Structure 1
Amino acid sequence: MSLVTPAIGLMFWTCVVFITLVLILKKYAWGPILNSVEERNNSIEKALESAEIAKKEMEKLNNDNEQILKQAKREREEILKEAREISNKTITEAKEKANSEAEKILGSARDQIQNEKMKALVELKNQIATLSIEMAEKILKAELKNPQVQTDLIERELKNKDLN
């Protein structure tokens, strides 16, 4: 039992050694240990602050990227819209120009057809007149071979002239 119940002297010396050890540790080891723990704590806090700042910057950059993408999409849509409008305008102008040219060509063709028709009618009238004159000449030659017929014709014409 003597091992289970320590003696007073042993307890005294154990307390003295313990207190001495605590004082030595406090003087030489406790300060550096607390300093390194404090430094570690500070570095962790700084790292957390840096991470928070980096997170905020990333969020800001993501927002900026989204805005830039939205702006780029708007600009692309505007460019496509303008291209479509220009394309439609060009097509419309080309159609109008083609229609105008077609109308000019048709008008010119109508005028040319009308001119050719008039030329043909004039030529036909000339041919008919020439043919009529030739036929009248032949008929008159045939009828005027007889001197009696010539005299009757002259008298008849003179009477018609006197009456008029």
Structure 2
Amino acid sequence: MDLVTPDVGLIFWTFISFLVLFFLLKRFAWKPIVGTVNDREQSIREALASAEAAKKEMENLTADNERILKEARVEREAMLKEAREIRAKMIADAEEDAKVKADKIIVNAQAAIENEKKAAIAELKGQVAELSVDIAEKVVRAELADKGKQLKLVENMLDEAKLN
């Protein structure tokens, strides 16, 4: 028997063995293997779909985060602007209040100075008047001490009274 030449019986029995094996595999193993492969394929599809959904969810979350950050920045800027305006208004109000108080103090000081000035002038006038009276009294005493001078003074006064 030659190993290179085919034997019909061997081919026949090999073919029959193949058919029996094929039938048994198809009958008992093919469905579970195909079912397992299909289940695995289905789980892979579901995993891919889940991954795609997670990716879209992450994109949505990222977009939401960006939107929230932009809104927060805008709100922060608005709050800072409002704070600056409030600060400027408070400073302006404080300056105005200080100016009003300073003007009031200046007016009060000027009034006090004017009152002190008037009081000093009145006191000075009183002292001048008192000194004038004292001087006049001393002059008149000296003038009236002598009878001749008294008569001469009276005559001079009468002459001056007639002239007016």
Give me the TM-score of the superposition, normalised by structure 2: 0.94
What's the offset of the Cα at 1:86?
A: 0.8
Task: Map 1:9-28 to 2 at 5 A.
Answer: 9-28=9-28
Instruction: Measure, in 1, the Cα distance between the counterparts of 2:44 and 2:21.
Output: 31
Instruction: Measure, in 1, the Cα distance between the counterparts of 2:96 and 2:5.
Output: 121
Corresponding position of 1:113: 113
Corresponding position of 1:88: 88
Unaligned runs of 5+ in 1: none
**1:99-154 Cα deviation digits (max 9, x unpaired):** 11111111111111111011101111111111011111101111111111111211
Corresponding position of 2:53: 53
Q: Check if 1:123 corresponds to 2:114.
A: no
DSSP 3-state at the match of 2:19: helix
Instruction: Measure, in 1, the Cα distance between the counterparts of 2:86 and 2:4.
Output: 106
What's the offset of the Cα at 1:39?
A: 1.2
DSSP 3-state at the match of 2:5: coil
What's the offset of the Cα at 1:14?
A: 0.8
Unaligned runs of 5+ in 2: none
DSSP 3-state at the match of 1:6: coil
Corresponding position of 1:153: 153
Paired positions, count: 164
Moved over 6 A (4+): none
What's the offset of the Cα at 1:16?
A: 0.7
Read off the aligned partner of 1:117 and give its amino acid letter.
K
**1:6-30 Cα deviation digits (max 9, x unpaired):** 3111111111111111111111111
Read off the aligned partner of 2:95 and give its amino acid letter.
K
Give me the TM-score of the superposition, normalised by structure 1: 0.94
What's the offset of the Cα at 1:37?
A: 0.8
**Root mean square deviation of aligned Cα:** 1.3
